[in-house]
Amino acid sequence: MEVSLEPTAHTFRPVCACFPLLLIIVSCPFMSVDLYQLLKNTTGGILPLLLLCCLTCSRARGQDTEIGPGSLVQNAASATATARTANQLTPKNATHADGRTGILSLIDGSQVPGQLLPTSDSAQVKWLAKSFDTPFHFKLQAIESIKYPKIDLGPERLRSDEFAIEFTNRDIVYGNITAWKAGTLTITTQSFGEMHVPIKSITRLYRVQENETVLFARSNGLQSWKTADWESSGWNEDGNYLSTSQRGAVLNGDLGVPARSVIELTLSWKDQADFVISLGSNVTATEDNSTDGWRLETAGQKLVAIRELKDKAELALISDLSLRRDLRLTLYLDQATGSLHIMRKDGKLLASLVLPAKPPAVSQNSSLRDTQQHALPETKNDSSSNQYSQHSGIRIVNRGKQLRVERVSIARWLGDLPTTSADADALVAFNDGTFASGSIDGITSGKLTIGEDSPNSKFEWNDVIAITFRNPAPPPPAAECALFLQNGVRLSGQFLKSAGGKCTFISANATSPSQIPCADIRSIIVFAHDPKPKEVASGSEIKGQLQIGELKLTGVLAPSGEQASPSLPMKFRWKAYGSTRAATMKPTVAGNILYRELPKTGPKSAQARAQEMQRLRIKQQQRGLNFGELFLKRADEVKTPKVERDAHVVHVRTGDIISCRVDRIDSTGVYVSTIDSKDGFVSHEKIKAIEYVTNAPPPDLEAAKRERLLTIPRLQKAAPPTHILCSHNGDFLRCRLIDADAETIRAEVQLTEINLPRDRVAQIIWLHPEEQSEPETDNGPDTPSVAKSSIYDGMVQVLLRDGKRVTFTPTQSTTTNFSGENAIIGPCNFPLEDVDQLIIGDQMLTEVTDIAYNRWKLQSAIEPLVTAAMEQGNDTSSAASPLVGQPAPEVSLQLLDGTPFKLSEQTGKVVVLDFWATWCAPCMQTMPLVEQAIGQFDTETVTLISINLQESPQQIRPVLERYNLNVTVAMDTDGVAAARYEAKAIPQLVIVGKDGVVKQLYVGGGAKVVEQMSSTIEQLLSEPKE
């Protein structure tokens, strides 16, 4: 057979007969601006009509615009590496296969984190899900995919592969070619050793070792596309590909595109193609624009190539994409001459466009090779001269529903465009830029034989950098599944078994099975799926979704077997869709089973909000009484509603609501009587609240008032209150409950014991010390956290359709019922058709956090530290505070003389807040200086409020007298104001401007701080009025 080695002639062909007219119009320097702007718009105006005309004229040449299923990498560098024995692929930081955690996805949308276990059944996968003791046996046809995290293999492992081999079914294998004879290619891979494949199943092979010519051969996921000014948000790593379902998602990367380059692109989509690809784009650009690079763009269902400069443009029709779902192109780009040539897999030229930014200085008789040799040198990225610059980026913008980037490769373009003989079976590219075409007999003694066996038909194998087969066999039938490996290998075929840390898999292109290490697998995608699951007979099973962390698994609750006992707790068993067996959960599992989607709670009605606000507006006017006397006096002023003796409600911390009669309370707990149980008992550890009034809603205070009520002052931290008593008129009393009966409640208030008539109390709320919501501190990561309560261990809770919750110890389950033992109501049984949600173990802690009384949790007031140095107040202190520049948090305190103070009522004045305490020596040294400095300003424009932290008037007054201070003191008895202003160290000065915004904040004391404070106030007062 004849061998063709001559360089390709340089030709430019218009897409259709009317295309030169379009070029003349677009390039005309006298064209009006309005006409040019119309032609620029590729989605409207006259351009679609011209494209339609082009397409009509091209019907007779449809074969020239066909895009084949493959592409060709041409003119890469030579590789001198010889065949080497494959090493076992060992990823960096890889764990043992049996310990690797992946996510198994079912075709019903379920997500199951877990581990692949050995199995000898090719029709199913044994999968040990997280939080389970026994595995599921999933039918392979019920699985959508199994995916593992990406592992960094290291550049040395990727560089050891010489070739990439692509097959007719889009599989790809990386490795070294060690033999080629009798129509069979032998590939030695890193992961699974030797692989024998028929030549007729290969579409192309090419070298992938990056060197001075092959610049970008294997993508490193999204890492390859990250640039400073662009984010790859919206794009995901889908196996070995990059995909997006977000319109406008951008991939922008500096991939090192040289001035003369060969670029290979493989893309696919699901519905309609709609994208823009810029080649040789400016990587420093902050937005995509039509003049950046050479662009491939969809216009309707047509793919066009566009090159646009400031005053002219050129475009060429590439193909019709209406019947396609993928695209494989090889593009030859010469930025210096402004040329772009688009070719398909067999070297057939689809389109060309030439639009030089600056004409090359060559004679009229110069050849193409001369033009290329005298090309303009690469220039730096400069947006001001973008049309004359050469850039190294590629940008891909998705404008449709979905787009997947399967391959991008870049090499230097050293020679000319390839040509092939009409009857040639293969096209071979060499490292010197030349090509040969013909039939390939194989490799003998390191030489590739093309055509007849003669000296002129033998070529050094090491000089070959790519081979494209023009007439491969049709792709094999659709495979059962595909394996994607960590190093980019894709194999389609049949899963046989998993054992000994290896997966046995037969590739559709191989002659024998391969054993692939499980640790090398990135994902398994299953193509052959079951039809929709059969409908469950009514009443035989209740379908739900099990949720445990990331696990979301649709199925049914399997029978638990024998009834559980205290010595043998019940184990939950779950039969998932697609699994032939039920799996048993771990005893400590925490999750829930969702049987019905819960409706979202709507906003409160206007009437309910009005009633709450009316109750909140009740003010305490009396003074001089202790807390207990005041609570009783206020309670007496409100007519007590008639209370049914058996109409009490007990709220348990688990969220249970129990209607009962509260008989008595003592040091051990609450004794109740119910309809089903004469005597019941709830310990203090489990109870959260008691309602003595029927249908009384939980108190709902304004956020600020509840924060103050639940904040423990520093002086009470050693013995915090344990209960809150709520009267019928909305007053609250913090105390320690001692005991109670049908007539009287005995409590301790600030070390004083008082007796209260029970009919004056509407609710009692329990405050559990372990539930304290501590404010943020600067403690390090080693600070021990409060241990989680164990009251949920071994418990389950049902959320019924009527909104009630019942918590109990489970004893037995079936596919339709669940039964157990409640501590108060005794044995209980619930049909699953009446259950919205079944909550298991510690998951209850999350589910009930925001329920009614569970939001009532104590928090400790911030204990300020004395600043270490008197002179540390400076601009850094204020700049570091997030309060500066923000509206000043509200301060509503009682002054030392008994009058109220509210910061928001001081608008129009400059207010200085001085946080201090009598035990703080720097505070006491600084306060006289602050008082003297503020005295220099008009009292109508500047106000000083000295906020004392958590001390009594008896402690404050003697200190003021001793230091001869005449300042206005506000008492922050519970530390709420200090918490809002982050006064973790004192003294602290906060300057609030006339507009109510924090202007400066100083931490520390001394003359320097006071001087800075005065300077800031003078500056604020000198500002012109708006």
Q: How confident is the model at residue 534 (pLDDT cuts 50, 70, 90)?
A: low
| Class in CATH terms, 865-1022 | alpha beta
Give residue-wise pLDDT tens across range 111-151.
999 999 999 999 999 999 999 999 999 999 999 999 999 88
Give the gyration radius of the chain's Cα atoms. 39
Q: How confident is the model at residue 39 (pLDDT cuts 50, 70, 90)?
A: very low
Give residue-wise pLDDT tens across range 701-720.
777 777 778 887 766 666 78
Q: How far apart are CA 101 and CA 116, in angstroms?
A: 8
Task: Determine the topology of domain 6-62+214-358+387-413 in CATH.
Answer: Jelly Rolls (2.60.120)
Cite the beta strand spans of 148-208 per DSSP E: 163-167, 172-181, 184-189, 193-198, 202-207
Averaged pLDDT of the chain: 77
End-to-end Cα separation, the chain, in angstroms: 92
Q: Identify the bridge partners of residue 890 per DSSP, sorted by sequence position.
A: none
Q: How confident is the model at residue 502 (pLDDT cuts 50, 70, 90)?
A: very high
Task: Give pLDDT, residue 630.
Answer: 54
Task: Give pLDDT, residue 906.
Answer: 92
Q: Is 462 helix (H, G, I), strand (E, B) or coil?
A: helix
Is the pLDDT at 272 greater than 60, yes or no?
yes
Give residue-wise pLDDT tens across range 602-629.
444 545 545 544 444 443 333 334 445 5
Task: Give pLDDT, residue 159.
Answer: 65
Is the pLDDT at 988 greater than 60, yes or no?
yes
Task: Give pLDDT, residue 172.
Answer: 92
Count CB neighbours of 185 within 10 A.
23
* CATH match of 627-771 with 3.40.1190.20: no
Q: Is 575 helix (H, G, I), strand (E, B) or coil?
A: strand
Q: How confident is the model at residue 896 (pLDDT cuts 50, 70, 90)?
A: very high
Q: What is the pTM of this model?
A: 0.64
CATH 2.30.30.100 in the chain, residues? 627-771
| Pair 290, 308: CB distance under 8 Å | yes
CATH 2.60.120.560 in the chain, residues? 6-62+214-358+387-413
| Pair 254, 395: CB distance under 8 Å | no
Task: Give pLDDT, residue 275.
Answer: 95
Q: How confident is the model at residue 311 (pLDDT cuts 50, 70, 90)?
A: confident
Give residue-wise pLDDT tens across range 862-884.
666 655 444 444 443 444 688 99
Is the pLDDT at 503 greater than 90, yes or no?
yes
Residue with tokens 């890193």: 190
Could you tell me what percentage of the chain is helix, strand and coil, using 3-state DSSP and rounding each to the nearest 5?
Answer: 15, 35, 45
Count CB neighbours of 539 within 10 A.
10
Q: How far apart are CA 698 and CA 707, in angstroms?
A: 16
Q: How far apart are CA 957 and CA 883, in angstroms?
A: 31
Task: Give pLDDT, residue 100.
Answer: 82
Phi, psi of 37 (to 5 degrees): -60, -35
Q: How confident is the model at residue 432 (pLDDT cuts 50, 70, 90)?
A: confident
Give residue-wise pLDDT tens across range 91-111.
443 333 456 899 999 999 999
Task: Give pLDDT, residue 775.
Answer: 46
Give residue-wise pLDDT tens across range 824-866.
778 889 999 999 999 998 888 777 766 778 778 877 766 666 5
Better-scored residue on pLDDT, 3 or 394: 394
Better-scored residue on pLDDT, 358 or 289: 289
> CATH: 1.10.3470, 3.40.50, 3.10.450, 2.30.30. Which one for 543-598+789-854?
2.30.30
Q: How far apart are CA 478 and CA 508, in angstroms?
A: 9
CATH 3.40.30.10 in the chain, residues? 865-1022
- pLDDT, mean of residues 166-182: 91
Q: How confident is the model at residue 228 (pLDDT cuts 50, 70, 90)?
A: low
Q: How confident is the model at residue 15 (pLDDT cuts 50, 70, 90)?
A: very low
- pLDDT, mean of residues 891-903: 93
Is the pLDDT at 50 greater than 70, yes or no?
no
Q: And the tokens for 876?
A: 């850094």
